[in-house]
Amino acid sequence: MTALSASFPTWQEKPRIVHEEMLEEQIDLGGLTEFLDRLDRAGVQISRVVYCVNNWSIGGVIPLQHHGFVLTIEDQGYLTLDFGRSGISWMVCQVCPAFPEDTCWVRSYDVQVDPHVIRDYCAETMPFQWIGNDCKTWSQGMIEEMGISDFDGVDILDEQFGGQSRKKRCSYVGGRGFLSPPIQCA
């Protein structure tokens, strides 16, 4: 009996994409697409998506919610993405940013997403509209574009607070699901 020799692929470390840590979010679609292009050319993927929702209000009277993301750049840091009236804001961080004040829903997904998927979605984003193209609609479209299923993720607030705090903190939602049932805040 003779042993068969097999050659194994050699492991190659991904290049480090140097990007200065930003101190505040920027609204610069060209800079965002350029950054995502550099990640894509280097073969770096998005390895985790954290979808976050927080409560806020207009003048303390009209309750609203804001939807956004923190993406883990494979061994490179974090990219935040938000969509609002001014367009897409983004920021690169070396440390995972804290959740926004009045966060009521956080779901984490382990993924392998090529940066060009995010770049293309952002590049094709239509202007913000209060009805029809708001942060929730944009975020749900991003989730769909990345091929993420509602059932793939882990509810981080449920893990941290046993579900009780989340239900209380999401009183504005009233039973509407963020993605689709059964993922609901109330």
pLDDT tens digit sequence for 104-122? 989 999 999 999 999 999 9
Give pLDDT, residue 14: 56
Give pLDDT, residue 165: 46
* Band of residue 69 on the pLDDT scale cut at 50, 70, 90: very high
Task: Evaluate if residue 59 carries a pLDDT over 50.
Answer: yes
Give pLDDT, residue 100: 84
Residue of 125, 126, 112 whose CA lies nearest to 14: 112
| Chain centroid to CA 120 | 15
pLDDT tens digit sequence for 124-166? 999 888 888 899 999 999 999 999 987 788 988 765 555 544 4
Beta carbons within 8 Å of 120's beta carbon, 6+ residues apart: 145
Q: b or e along 32-44 (b: 16 or more beta carbons within 10 Å of the residue's beta carbon)?
A: bbebbeebbeeeb
Q: Rounded distance, CA 119 to CA 175, Å?
A: 32
Question: 82 by DSSP, 3-state: which?
Answer: strand
So where are the chain's domains? Answer: 29-169
- Structural tokens at position 181: 């049932």
Task: Evaluate if residue 185 carries a pLDDT over 50.
Answer: no
* Band of residue 7 on the pLDDT scale cut at 50, 70, 90: low
Task: Evaluate if residue 182 carries a pLDDT over 70.
Answer: no
Give pLDDT, residue 184: 27
Determine contact, residues 118/108, Cβ cutoff 8 Å. Answer: no
Give pLDDT, residue 87: 94
Lowest-confidence region among 90-104, 138-152, 165-179: 165-179
